Structure formats: structure tokens, C-alpha cells
Amino acid sequence: MKKFSILNKIRENHLIAVVRGKEFDDTVRMIDSIIEGGIRNIEITYTTPRASELIERFSGREDICVGAGTVMSSGTADEAIRRGAQYVVSPHFDAEVSELCNLNQVPYLPGCATATEIVTAMKSGVDVVKVFPGGILGSSFIKDIKGPIPHANLMPSGGVNRDNMAEWIENGAFAIGIGSALAKGYDGTNPEVVRTNTESFVEAYKNAVKGEG
């Protein structure tokens, strides 16, 4: 039940902030500002210095859902889960990472770019597939995949902005990953910029859902 509870949290909050920081303290301020701005799913990537410490720091909060991103091996996945990561995200599919996550009842969201990769991931127990790179594949990719594979849960990462978010949602995105756009203009000393950027994406999402209804 743990795995499905986490997936429900991701689905309910829908937007996932993909955090790539340069300095530990700056990244802490960035994450705090993203949460203040209204996004509750926080993916802390392992390209960020002291990522494991950040995961442990924020995973204790009950108002957010913290995951580990850019996980390239089962060793990193194990470290992230032990530090409190509630879900694991990779730019590619890794069978060993999938097995480890399944054993720990932790959702694994691997990056896939073809129908074959998506089906392979789903056969291994993956519940949500990251559409990556989203900017190259485009929002129509989700609609095209869900035609022959309607039960595929797909989450784009990369290429989603305020103007095209409605297209991704209309085409059936399970959730949406948003990265560098949230930190645009942030220099480590002005976290209010991150909060404002986040608020604008949350507002765009609400408008997109309202328009769909």
C-alpha cells in the first residue's frame, strides 16, 4: 500500500519540481521557496551537491513528497531510499533499480523515449514512466502512446512551460516535471524569484485543469 499511497500523492499534486542546485545552502533556500510557491512534489537530483543530505533534510516533512532524481545505479537508489526518498527517478530504465524499488515499495519513474522502452519498464513493475526528453518528444507523444497502450501512466520531464502545459494535460499526462524554469533568475540570494516562478506554474496548472473541465 505504501507504493500506491505515494503515487496518489504525486498524482494529486501533479507538478513535480526537479531541483538541480549548485551549493547546499542555496539549494535549501530554493526548495523552501518552491514549497512556499505551492509545489508539493520535490525531486532532488543527484547532480546536486550533498543530494542525500537534502533528501534526508526534507523527507521528514509531511506536507511534501520528496524523491531522488538522476539516479543512475541501484547503489544510489539504495542510498536515496535509506535517506528517506519516497520515489526514485532516472533518465533511463535500469532493471536493477526497478527491482530494488519494488522490493522497498518505492515508485520508480524511469526515463523512456519509445514504446518498446515503456513496455519493458511496465513489465518490470514500473507504474509511471518519465517521458524523456520531453522537449524533443513533444506533448503529442503521450497521446500517441496512450492510443495503443491506454493504461500507461506517463510523466513528461523537460520541455514543459506555462504556455504548453495545457497540451500535456489534455494529452493525458499523469504528472508533470518542471526543472530549470523554476530557478530562472535565481542567484542564491533572491529566493523570492523562485517562489514567484513556482506560483506562476501553479497558476498555469490550475488554469489548464479548469480549461480542460
Separation of CA 107 from chain center: 11
Listed in sequence order, the DSSP H helices in the chain are 2-13, 24-37, 51-59, 74-82, 95-103, 115-123, 134-137, 140-146, 165-170, 191-212
Catalytic site positions: 43, 130
Long-range (24+ apart) CB contacts under 8 A made by 117-124 are: 117/93, 118/145, 118/149, 118/152, 118/154, 119/149, 120/93, 121/93, 122/149, 122/152, 124/93, 124/95, 124/98, 124/99
Q: Which three cell numbers stand for residue 193?
A: 524569484
Give the list of residues 6+ apart from residue 103 with CB closer than 8 angstroms, or none: none
- HSE-CB for 127 with a 13 A CA cutoff: 18
Q: Which of 6, 18, 2, 5 is nearest to 176 (CA)?
A: 18
